[in-house]
Amino acid sequence: MRHLAALPFLLASATAHAAPLAAHHAVYALSLDAARTQTVMAAHGAMTYDVTDSCGAWTTSQHLVIDLTNQDGQDVHMVSDYATLEAHDGTHLDFHSKQVTDTAVTEQVDGTATLTHAGGSGHADFTSPQKTTLLLPGGTLLPMAHTNALIDAAAAGHRFLSVPLFDGTGADGAQDTFVTIENWNKPATVNPQQKWAALSALPSGRVHIAFFARSHAAETPDYEIGMVYYANGVADQLAMNFGEFQMNGRLTQLDLRPSPHC
């Protein structure tokens, strides 16, 4: 089970982004959209996502909870936690992720990653699940730089992007990502009465991201996520494909945080 990455390319780094990403607290209600096999009979959950601008770095945290019922009528409780500290210039990442099913830790990944520059090559140094170092290929972006570049690409009218991403959610190094951007535009009118008035004047569009393993020529993605992305990096209308089942996510709470005085 992957996190909602701050997705979340080679066109721009965090420092070059025209419309700054927003520090924010978001809460999503998750519901089962479709089960591709008979192993999942029901599922629901919730996710919180926090982004903080800490002067020189972004801190992010995500807490994802899914409760499902399998074909045998057993209830399964899954929790995924993910936290990062990413330099504004996109060159350094501290990462921690942990996944728990019922009471068993099924995966934990910790370490740091360093790039020569945003979109450059580098290395990831893991302290768990075991102490090891992996090389990161040229073109690699870290999560917030990945989000910045995606939004810049959308604003420039690009519809397709493909670039390596390292987000620290797995111990296999960078992944290839393929992004499709649809209908990115400014709203024709601004409706201050809509639920998320702070988003109503912002350009937005539908984004789909597929994640592929680099270790082999994969024809099908390991994970897919779709969403409506806004120009400040806030996401809504999530479609999270976990393989055996797909969850929809709807934004139920949004708190935008002021920029720090650095």
pLDDT at position 37 is: 75
Q: What average pLDDT score do residues 165-191 get? A: 89
pLDDT at 38 over 60: yes
pLDDT at position 191 is: 61
Which neighbouring-strand residues pair with 45?
Answer: 30, 66
Contact at 8 Å (CB) between 87 and 56? yes
Alpha carbon distance 245, 240 (integer Å): 9
Q: What average pLDDT score do residues 35-45 get? A: 87
| Residue 218 CB neighbour total at 10 angstroms | 14
pLDDT at position 217 is: 66
Q: What rounded mean pLDDT belongs to the chain?
A: 88
pLDDT at 2 over 60: no
Contacts of 72 (CB under 8 A, 6+ apart): none
pLDDT at 193 over 60: no
Higher pLDDT, 11 or 209: 209
Q: What average pLDDT score do residues 11-34 get? A: 73
Cis check for the bond before 164: say yes or no (omega within 30 of 0): no
pLDDT at 213 over 60: yes
Q: What is the pLDDT of residues 58-107, one digit of tens each?
A: 999 999 999 999 888 899 999 999 999 999 999 999 999 999 999 999 99
pLDDT at position 13 is: 31
Predicted structure pTM score: 0.88
Q: Nearest Cα to 75, choosing from 84, 85, 62, 65?
A: 65
Q: What is the pLDDT of residues 102-160, one digit of tens each?
A: 999 999 999 999 999 999 999 999 999 999 999 999 999 999 999 998 999 999 999 99
Alpha carbon distance 165, 148 (integer Å): 13
Q: What average pLDDT score do residues 176-194 get? A: 81
User: If you search the block for the tokens 């592929």, which residue do you land on?
Assistant: 212
Contacts of 261 (CB under 8 A, 6+ apart): none
Give the pLDDT band of residue 194 (cuts 50, 70, 90).
low
Domain ranges within the chain, ordered by starting residue: 14-256
| Residue 117 CB neighbour total at 10 angstroms | 12
